[in-house]
Structure 1
Amino acid sequence: MSDETTLASLVKRIEVLEAEADIRRLQARYMFLCDTPCPEFAVGDDAHRIDLIMALYAKDAVWEGVGEYYDNQFGHAEGHDAIREHFNTFWGEERAPALLLNAHYLTSEQIYVDGDNATGQWIHMQPWLFSDGTSLLRSSRLNNSFRKTDSGWKITRTRTENVFIAPLPATFASHYPSASVLMGS
């Protein structure tokens, strides 16, 4: 193997490793921004949070719930406007009961990079607590797609499929913050 071939091979391997790391951070940032209360410092309202989430998506992206449980619950949103509207249903004054707590835990990661495109699979679990005291534990499989753009990697598809939903005892969490200060000074 020539030095040029060896160098080219190493460069390609480094590019894949960097892409995987970028995609891992992108997926984690998406989940971080979706947590409630939002842990991103200085995010004053849900419109700002949604703007930050939308910056992670390609303009032609798709967000969809699939499978026998999520088809009717989450549906299919294509493009920035439709995905933004999807997120508007999770937060804001019109949501009743209000979502007080939601935290995403990711596991079982698999990322596959093919040039400027990639896919990633995860399982995630999240507890939900609502203002009326109801609560649940939700688990989903994620099968997402990504594309490298001039401004970095973007999400091109979020596809989520229910694994299970389990009711939790009313107000299962006795202590939780009304706002996050994690990213403060």
Structure 2
Amino acid sequence: MNNWELLEIRESLLRDLAEFIEDNYYGTPAPHEYRRHELDVRLGKKLKFSSSYPQMTIRQRRASDLLLQVGLCGATEYALGTIEDEDQLKHGRERLVKMKGDLADLMRDYDNCLSEEERKLLLRQAKNNSNREESLKDSERDSLLKLVIGMAVGAYCYNPAALKNDAVSDITKDLEELGISISDDTVRKYLIQAAAKFPQARKA
């Protein structure tokens, strides 16, 4: 399952659970990546373990279980980027593999509640997003990646070799102050791509 598919599935889960989500639960602008995962986990736990929602349908219960696991996987994966101890990192990665196995099982349970048309729509939306990302010409994409890595290294002291980078959260915070919402996931993804494409872009 790629990132676009997971994002589309998460949106589907939130639509299914909309009646149980408080107004502005996720806040405005959108929360940082780790905070979003925390909120997903909190909502999933509340719906899973509380007896206050007897009216939930089977589909909604499976949606809440899946949202909880999506949040747990996301939070764990994010946390791994902050761990420097090799033993802890190895243990965390092994735990994440197990969690993603559970995620796949919960995804199958939720998928069984979807109509064929809904499945097709989710796949189509994920594919459209993926194709949109690939639509840039190579030269245009390279130019944008040069700008990304140049500004990240020059202005935010981004170090591609570091296990932990404050640059990602600094960039998203500065963009939010300008009224531009973007997730840490997205920033990190393009920084990694840019660093791989232009490995010479780092401060001495």
State whether TM-score is above 0.5: no
Q: TM-score, normalised by structure 1?
A: 0.28
The answer to which structure has the higher helix fraction is 2
Q: TM-score, normalised by structure 2?
A: 0.26
The answer to which structure has the higher strand fraction is 1
